[in-house]
Amino acid sequence: MKTIHAKTIRNSSDWLDRASCRSVGRETFYDGSAEGRQAARLVCTRCHVLLECLADTQALEAAAEGRWGMAAGLTAPQRLALVWEERLHGARPDAAKARELTDWGWRKALRRHHGRGLTLGEITQAIGGTTPQHHVTTRLALWWLGLDGARVRPRAADDLTPKWQRVVNEHRGEIEGIRAAGGNRFDVSAYLGVSISCAELAIARVNKLTAGVLEVAA
């Protein structure tokens, strides 16, 4: 039986009857495989009410403090990452602009920059963005295009540094910020776009560094 996925993630909205997931099986949005996520993302990114869905989903999930499955073209960790973008940087994406960035001309440019191994900041700068809002808008567009949008710099060919160590080197301050705000390994993993085990190792290292700093300060 077909169900309206959007209706399962929010109370009621006047845009529900225009939702593309009206004609798609609800299971598509809860299939944990990469293929399943890709299928759901394609349904969502072609949906006429993507922007309305994203806004309502974020509001509902903020109140419920829980995220499951795909919604608004994003995985649950990607939606959680948006929460931390706002908490750490005070930045919400311009979803309409992000959708524009998935159109043909911009899409080609984003794929090219991403393929060259640029960081999120470098990709944003390459398309003319400078502010925290521009960064998170680019990140949203990359996710909608099915690209990783991670905050960690891609590994250089000659760099043998373990990923968790690179995460600490590049993002110690943000990890400390997430921990100070009560976040855990799932939050760090989602925000940075790394695996949970990588986030765990990075947090353990940051904790030790912080303890060392406190000892010195004492």
The binding site for ligand SF4 (CB under 6 A) comprises 5-6, 19-21, 43-44, 47, 49-50, 53, 71-73
**Closer Cβ to ligand SF4, 24 or 167, answer by number:** 24
CB of 158 to ligand SF4, least distance (A): 41
**Closer Cβ to ligand SF4, 6 or 91, answer by number:** 6
**Closer Cβ to ligand SF4, 39 or 109, answer by number:** 39
The H or E element containing residue 168 is: helix 163-180
In this structure, the number of other CB atoms found within 10 A of the CB of residue 103 comes to: 10
**Closer Cβ to ligand SF4, 47 or 188, answer by number:** 47
**Closer Cβ to ligand SF4, 7 or 179, answer by number:** 7
Q: Which two tokens stand for residue 162?
A: 């373990």
Between the CA of residue 6 and those of 48, 62, 120, what are the distances in Å?
A: 13, 16, 30
**Closer Cβ to ligand SF4, 42 or 209, answer by number:** 42
Q: Give 28's DSSP letter.
A: G
**DSSP secondary structure letters along 103-142:** SHHHHHHHHHHHHTT--HHHHHHHTT--SHHHHHHHHHHH
CB of 177 to ligand SF4, least distance (A): 30
Determine the Cα–Cα distance for residues 130 and 199; give it in Å rounded to an integer.
Answer: 27
Question: Residue 74 in 3-state DSSP?
Answer: strand
Determine the Cα–Cα distance for residues 132 and 122; give it in Å rounded to an integer.
Answer: 13
CB of 68 to ligand SF4, least distance (A): 12
Cα radius of gyration (the chain): 18
CB of 188 to ligand SF4, least distance (A): 26
CB of 29 to ligand SF4, least distance (A): 7
CB of 125 to ligand SF4, least distance (A): 29
